[in-house]
Amino acid sequence: MGREGSLLAGRLHGVRGPIGMAGALLLAAASGGPGLPGQAGAWRAVDEGVGYDAGTIFQYIDGHAEVYLAYGMKTCRARRYVGPEGEGDLLLDLFEMTSPADAYGVFTHDQDGEAVLIGQGALFRYGWLSFWKGRYFVSITAQPDGERARAAALELGRAVAAALAEEGEPPVLVSRLPSQGLVPRSVRYLRHPQVLNAHLFLGDGNPLRLGPQGRLALGRYQRGDQTALLLVAEYADSADAAAAEQALADRFTQSGGPGRAGNGWSAVARMPWGAHAVGLVVEAGSREGAEALLAEARGGRP
């Protein structure tokens, strides 16, 4: 029994296959991790659930597991809950990521919905609850959505969050985005160019030169009648940062200064607050706006 969720280019999940496929592990045999609730209201788990790792996740998330793998997914633990007659099922997916920063990053991939007080940040929309806590990202869907199923999904989410003792902090890099004019829920944190392309396409290839150790925060700004996008990226070493700065300058600026590119003005510079960091403004409404936003990201330095 499958479900349609978010796709990579704008939504997060893919079509799910039946639980219990070859290559999956029963949760009872999976190592570590919190226990998953056996019920939520009148919804009861149908079995012990199934666990997947990086090698088997494609058997569960058909064609779109790349998003989770790009954030360093270690395991996915899935459990289905059956409700009263006439009500749809609930499907719980518990993703263990490499770090709290990666769990936060997966959560920021899709920020539509109503904010709810579960975990360290949660959203509910169209029968889908998602939140992060510590190094875990949690997804709960109601199939189909309904008032009783929605209430059960929220109850299940609260129970899962309570079972997750660990908490984490958002990535420090996100705090480097200036707060003035930052559009709520526009922030994205990622470390793979494929995920960036789902939010902002900067051109063919990998112009930001993001590698396995790279990290990037993206935010949209609205200041008066002008908008802009700011990206700040951290690299493994100074050589990678220098190569990225040069590649971005060649593509988006003119003679080392701001230039018109695509839908507006662009500017690029090394960030003095990070040993190996680069900032890029794109789609700014004016040259002055691009320069001002980049200067703020540099800590007020021109």
302 lies in a domain?
A: no
d(CA 191, CA 66): 12
Residue 117 is predicted with a pLDDT of 97
In this structure, the answer to whether residues 184 and 210 fall within a common structural domain is: yes
273 lies in a domain?
A: yes
In this structure, the answer to whether residues 147 and 51 fall within a common structural domain is: yes
d(CA 139, CA 103): 12
In this structure, the answer to whether residues 25 and 114 fall within a common structural domain is: yes
Q: What is the pLDDT of residues 232-272, one digit of tens each?
A: 999 989 999 999 999 999 888 877 678 887 789 999 999 99
d(CA 225, CA 245): 29
174 pLDDT tier (thresholds 50, 70, 90): very high
Residue 130 is predicted with a pLDDT of 97
Decide which of 135, 163, 191 is a domain's last residue.
Answer: 163
Q: To the nearest whole number, what is the mean pLDDT of the chain?
A: 86
301 pLDDT tier (thresholds 50, 70, 90): low
Residue 256 is predicted with a pLDDT of 63
In this structure, the answer to whether residues 27 and 50 fall within a common structural domain is: yes
Residue 48 is predicted with a pLDDT of 86
208 lies in a domain?
A: yes
In this structure, the answer to whether residues 184 and 289 fall within a common structural domain is: yes
Asked if pLDDT for residue 288 goes beyond 70, the answer is yes
Decide which of 163, 195, 218 is a domain's last residue.
Answer: 163
Residue 33 is predicted with a pLDDT of 62
Parallel, antiparallel, or unpaired: how do β-strands 50-53 and 114-116 relate? unpaired
In this structure, the answer to whether residues 22 and 146 fall within a common structural domain is: yes
Decide which of 140, 163, 186 is a domain's last residue.
Answer: 163
In this structure, the answer to whether residues 141 and 190 fall within a common structural domain is: no
8 lies in a domain?
A: no
In this structure, the answer to whether residues 177 and 211 fall within a common structural domain is: yes
CA 250 to each of CA 179, 207, 255: distance values in angstroms, whole numbers, following the listed order: 28, 10, 9
Domain harbouring 59, CATH code? 3.40.1000
4 lies in a domain?
A: no
In this structure, the answer to whether residues 153 and 188 fall within a common structural domain is: no
Q: Which of 7-11, 72-76, 165-169, 229-233 has the lowest mean pLDDT?
A: 7-11
Residue range of the domain that includes 274: 172-297
In this structure, the answer to whether residues 129 and 28 fall within a common structural domain is: yes
DSSP per-residue string spanning 190-255 = ES-HHHHHHH----SS-TT---TT-EEEEEEEEETTEEEEEEEEE-SSHHHHHHHHHHHHHHH-BT
140 lies in a domain?
A: yes
Amino acid identity for residue 227 in this structure? T
279 lies in a domain?
A: yes
Q: Is the dihedral of CA 115, 117, 122, 125 positive or negative?
A: negative
Q: How many domains does the chain have?
A: 2
2 lies in a domain?
A: no
